[in-house]
Structure 1
Amino acid sequence: MLFPIRVRPTALIIENDSVLLIEYNNPEKGVHYFLPGGGAEEGETIKETVRRELLEETMAEVTVGSVAFLCECEPQKRVIEYSPLDHVLFIVFECQLAAGSNPRLPDLPDKYQTAVKWVPLTELHTINLMPDMEELILTFAKEKKSVAFLEDHVVRNLTSEVI
């Protein structure tokens, strides 16, 4: 029996001590927030997924940097109600908005998506952030320590250039 883990590349964009979040208002769960991101499509790298999802959800373009942190949500060990109920690994990339990009709600937003918001870091504890990454976001904002991320196609290209 297979127990797949859904990989969800996401963007962490912090500017002026605020983080960019997607607001949803679901009749069952009420108002809640996610970092922008989503599932990879066939043939796309996870960094490409972050760029595409951010454009779809916020109409903004970004430069995808290093991995800020990882967050695993396993249904059997979940302590709060969370949707979807899949086993999910969030790969959270530090991102920078491209010059001239102004995040906004798209003309055709995702179901239940109601806003694109800058939430002050000092107010993260007041919202329903899914999953609850508040401490990870605050720690990264303060320390800026990244996680190593290896892209094999980049390593191969660097190795072939050296030879």
Structure 2
Amino acid sequence: MEKYTHLGVYGVLIQDDHILLIQKARGPHKGKWDLPGGSIEFGEEPEFTLKREFMEETGLSPIKGSIRTAISYTIVYQYAENQMEELHHIGIIYDVELPDDQAVIKAEGDGQDSLGARWVPLESLSLLPLTPFVEMMMESVLIEEAEGEA
């Protein structure tokens, strides 16, 4: 079995009790809902990766990001018909602000990793198939949102 490490940058963007997610087009989480983001290209600063990936997957620009945390998980999945793969996925997670709160998201896919972006009500997150990064962030995000309303 092949083993790989993947480092990516992802953003948590919440507005009006909705979180911005993209639906995965490929990989071990195909069809699941994920945070916008992706791979750091060679020589690229993580914050630039965040801005580039947000533009590609959601159409939103400009954005502001501040590092929230770094998390990881491992998953074994069927990469090809006769090939299993073990992936160690590391994510640098940013809190994202959108200066233009009237900006329109790109609902169609990017032709690569995303089938499209969508604003998902926070109370509906548990009803959707989610990637591990969204699941890991969901509890703290919901707690923060509840505290913000109190």
Q: Could you state the TM-score of these two structures normalised by the residue count of structure 2?
A: 0.74
- Is the contact made by 2:7 and 2:91 (CA closer than 8 Å) also made in structure 1? yes
Which residue is equivalent to 1:15?
Answer: 15
Aligned to 1:35: 35
Contact 1:121 1:138 in 2 (8 A): no
The aligned runs of 1:91-110 (5 Å cut-off) are: 91-99=92-100, 100-105=102-107, 109-110=110-111
- Give the AA of the match of 1:98: P
Gap regions ≥5 residues in structure 2: 80-84, 146-150
Residues 1:136 and 1:114: Cα distance change in structure 2 (over 3 Å): closer
Structure 1 residues 139 and 114, CA gap change in structure 2 (3 angstroms): same
Residues 45-84 of structure 1: matches in 2 within 5 Å? 45-61=45-61, 62-67=63-68, 69-75=69-75
Residues 29 and 131, structure 2, Cα contact 8 Å, conserved in 1: no
Q: Per-residue deviation at 1:101?
A: 2.9
Give 1:5's aligned residue: 5
**Structure 2 contact 10–37 (Cα < 8 Å) conserved:** yes
Post-superposition offset of 1:9? 0.5
Mapped partners of 1:102, 1:82: distance in 2: 36
2: CA distance between counterparts of 1:122 and 1:82? 32
> How many aligned residue pairs are there?
135
Give the structure with the higher percent strand: 2
Q: Quick check: which has more Rg, 1 or 2?
A: 1
SS in 2 for 1:38: strand
**Distance verdict in 2 for CA 1:66–1:55, change over 3 Å:** same
Say whether the 8 Å CA contact 2:21–2:36 is kept in structure 1.
Answer: yes
Identity in percent: 22
| 2:135 alignment partner in structure 1 | 134
Q: Which runs of 5+ in 1 are unaligned?
A: 145-163
- RMSD between aligned residues: 2.9
